[in-house]
Structure formats: structure tokens, C-alpha cells
Amino acid sequence: MSREENEKKKQDKNNKVKKPKKRADDQYREYRFSQTFEEKTEETGVTRDVISSKAKTAVVIMLICLVSVIIATGWNYLAPDKLLNSIQLGLSGDRGDSFPTFISGTKVSSANFQFKNNHLTYISDTSLIALNRTAAKVIDRPISFSQPSMKICGDNILTYGIDGTEYQIDNSSGTRIKNQLDNKIIQGDIAANGSYAFLTGADGYLSKLTVFNPSDKQIFSYSFSDYYATAFAMNNNGTMAAVAAVTSKNGSLKTQIYILDFSKEEPVSLIEEDEALAYACEFMDNGSVAVVCDSRSLMIKSNYTDVDRYDYEGLSLTAFAFDEAYGGVLSLSPSGDGGNCHIVYLNKNGSLEKIVDTENRISDIDIYSGKIAALCDGKTAFYRLNGEEAGYADSGLDAQAITMNSENGIYVLGMTEIRDVSAK
């Protein structure tokens, strides 16, 4: 090899870059960096989980609080008995075959044919029936009263036999109470909270009012020694009653209205009406009390002192009905055959007045949500509260009674079937 080649080889060898060897401390630093990076990555993941968990916990707490508030404010709708009723009603669904539908039993009276609580309810000589909007039976229970009568308030249906001693209380989930009294029943009524009461005869007295709580325990009674009670009503809260009782004075009838508070022994008010026999009483939602008599009607205001009266002036009462949100309505006829009726509106705030003259023979009447329906020889005439006509519906020549299910609709009780018709 020549000298020039040896020199070039040495120079190439010197020009090569030598990689430095890793020292022990460098290797340790690389290990710590890698470990720290992994630890930070793991810490970041844990933090997200913690945030997510806290968010979920907060949402759960908020939901629990919301449900608690709903339960606290709406227990009347969520309590076990109410919830069971709702389930029962919901299960009935839309499974009916729609109207018209045949009547269960052979005889139904106008007073025992009512649209309440969004259901058509009636009692016949054999059955208690409640139908939904598609005519499906929500309630179908046997009854065995010789003169059956019915009162409905909220979910409660009280049925009993006039001049009998037995009664029962039903709702959609079943028969809640079935019992009997010691004395014969004149009339019964029930409140939305399940409290109920009866007017009965009484040993040593002319009549007696007895009030029971929802558990069938007596909580109040009042005996009438000088007057015979003919009609009464409880308020929706089950805390008061208005009782109409009659006696004879100088050869004529005299009615006295007792306003009773169940927390007091004596009446809070007594209102006397000469030459009047009371047929029915009803509490309005503002505390006023409507009383329909044979010769006049009354609206006793909620102070139980002021009274508005409408005198029939010799006309004959053919039909009447109540709506606690609006007042009462009645039809009066000047003729012996019941024709040419005029309609009187009993405003719950007073102002009792005739609103319209008709040429019709009104055999049944109802009031619902600011409208009036009057059954007149095969047709039903609708009116507004100011007397304006609001349409007609074909009820059928066999129509026995009506009950309004909307401002423009009625259920018609025929001889053998129930129909759903609307105003035209």
C-alpha cells in the first residue's frame, strides 16, 4: 500500500462520528420520564372518571329531590288507593264497542244516571255500572237494593236503598265498604275525601244525621226532634252539611235549613222558609248552598246569612240539576201538561233569574261547564247561561233522561240502550 493510501485511510477513520455510550444516570432519567408520563396519563383518566361520577351523583340527587316534591305535593294522586284506581281505569283503555250500548238491568231512574269523574255511571235494579268514553265497563258490580239511589264524589260511589238500611261504597278497584244502619235511610251523601253521611229515622226523634269518616267510624250526629229532614248535602271537604227539614205550622208547611259544622255541636245558621217543601240541597264550590223547593229556590251565600230567592209564582217544577262550579238550573211550567216551560238559572253567586221562555215540555235538564241541556219530547235543546240557543240534538222518542258529557254532548238514557249524541 502506498503512503498516499495509508494517509487517506487514517483521515477517513478520524472523520467518523463516534456515538457516545449512555451513562447510568442518563438511562435513569429516561426511565423516570417514561414512568412520569405514564403516571400523568393515568392520573388524567382517573380525574375524568371522578368528574363523571360526581355529575352522575348530582343528577341522581336532583331526580330524587324532584320525585320527593312531586310525591309531597301530589300524594292524593299517587297514594296506593288512588294509584290502583288510576291503573284500573287505565287498563280499561279503549276496549269498548262504543255507543249505543245496552243497559244492564231493566230499570234506571233519571237521578241514577250521571256523568261524573269523566265516566258515565248509573245504577239499575241489579247493577252498578261505570262506562268510559268508548262504552267499556270500568265498574260492573251487583247491587240488591229495592229502591236504589246513588251519590258520586271524586272516586267514591255511594249506593244505598231508600227506606232500607244497607249501603255500599265503591270505586274502580272494588267495593270499599259494605254495611248497614240501625234505622231506615232517607238520603245519603259522600264527600271527595271518602267521608259520608246519612239522614235516617231515629228512635225518639223525627230524624237524624249521622256522619262517618272514610274508615267507617262515626264522627258526628245531629238529631231533629221538631222537624222531619227531607234533604241534605255535604260539602266536598266532608266538614259541613246543609239539611232541609220540614214541619207543619198553622196548617201549612214550614222548612228550616240547618247549616251544620261537624266541629261544632250546634248549627252555625238556621234559615226558615214558610210554605215550602225542600226537594234537594247542594253545596257549590264557593261554599254557597242551593236549595230547590216546591214553591221557590234559594241560593244561600257562603256567610250562611244572606239568601237569594226565586219564587215560582204558582208555576210547576218539572226538572232541576246542579253544577257546583256554576250553580243550578230548573224548568217551570204554567200548564198542567208540563208544556211551555221556561228555564231559570241559579247563579252560585246569587242573581237567580229566568233566562229563556220555551214552547217545550221539558222532562229532564242538566247544566255543565256553562251550558244547559233540556230534554224536550225526543230532542234536546242546548242553551247558554244567558238564554241564547246553542243547538239541538236528536235524543230519540224513547229518551227517559239525559246527562251532559261536554258543552255540546249528552248521554241519552233510552228504554233499552244508552246513546251518545251531540248538538248540531
> Is residue 78 scored above 80 in pLDDT?
no
pLDDT at res. 52: 57
pLDDT at 33 over 60: no
| pLDDT(71) > 50 | no
Q: What is the pTM of this model?
A: 0.78
Q: Residue 59's pLDDT is what? A: 54
Q: Write down the mean pLDDT value for the chain.
A: 86
What does the pLDDT look like over 280-294, one tens digit per residue?
A: 999 999 999 999 999
pLDDT given at position 394: 97
Q: Is the pLDDT of residue 384 over 90?
A: yes
Query: What is the identity of the amino acid at 421?
Result: V
The mean pLDDT of 300-323, rounded to a whole number, is 97
pLDDT at residue 319 greater than cutoff 90:
yes
Judge whether residue 70 has pLDDT over 60.
no
- Give 161-206 pLDDT, tens digit per residue: 999 999 999 998 999 999 999 999 999 999 999 999 999 999 999 9
Sheet with strand 240-249: strands edge to edge? 228-234, 240-249, 252-261, 269-274
pLDDT for position 304: 97
- Residue 250: pLDDT band (50, 70, 90) is confident
Lowest mean pLDDT among 26-40, 86-100, 109-123: 26-40
Please give the average per-residue pLDDT across 380-387, as a whole number.
97
With 50 as the cut, is the pLDDT of residue 50 above it? no
Give the rounded percent of residues in the chain with a pLDDT score beyond 90: 75
For cell 355529575, what's the residue?
55
Rounded CA-CA distance 112/196 in Å is: 18
Residue 340 φ then ψ, to 5°: 55, 45
Which of 11 and 242 is assigned the larger pLDDT?
242
Edge-to-edge strand list for the sheet holding 307-311? 278-283, 289-293, 296-300, 307-311
d(CA 418, CA 423): 16
Rounded distance, CA 404 to CA 424, Å? Answer: 15
CB atoms near residue 294 (< 10 Å): 15
Which residue's C-alpha cell is 235516617?
Answer: 200
Q: What is the three-state SS of the chain? A: CCHHHHHHHHHHHHHCCCCCCCCHHHHHHHHHHHHHHHHHHHHHHHHHHHHHHHHHHHHHHHHHHHHHHHHHHCHHHHCHHHHHHHHHHHHHCCCCCCCCEECCCCCCCHHHEEEECCEEEEECCCEEEEECCCCCEEEEEECCCCCEEEEEECCEEEEEECCCCEEEEEECCEEEEEEECCCCEEEEEECCCCCEEEEEEECCEEEEEEEECCCCCEEEEEEECCCEEEEEEECCCCCEEEEEEEEEECCEEEEEEEEEECCCCCCCEEEEEECCCEEEEEECCCCCEEEEECCEEEEECCCCCCEEEEECCCCEEEEEEEECCCEEEEEEECCCCCCCCEEEEEECCCCEEEEEECCCCEEEEEEECCEEEEEECCEEEEEECCCCEEEEEECCCCCCEEEECCCCEEEEECCCEEEEEECC
pLDDT tens profile 323-381? 999 999 999 999 988 999 999 999 999 999 999 999 999 999 999 999 999 999 999 99
Tell me how far apart the alpha carbons of residues 282 and 321 are, in angstroms, rounded to a whole number: 10
CATH 3.60.110.10 for domain 313-424: no
Is residue 104 within 8 Å of 141, Cβ to Cβ? Answer: no
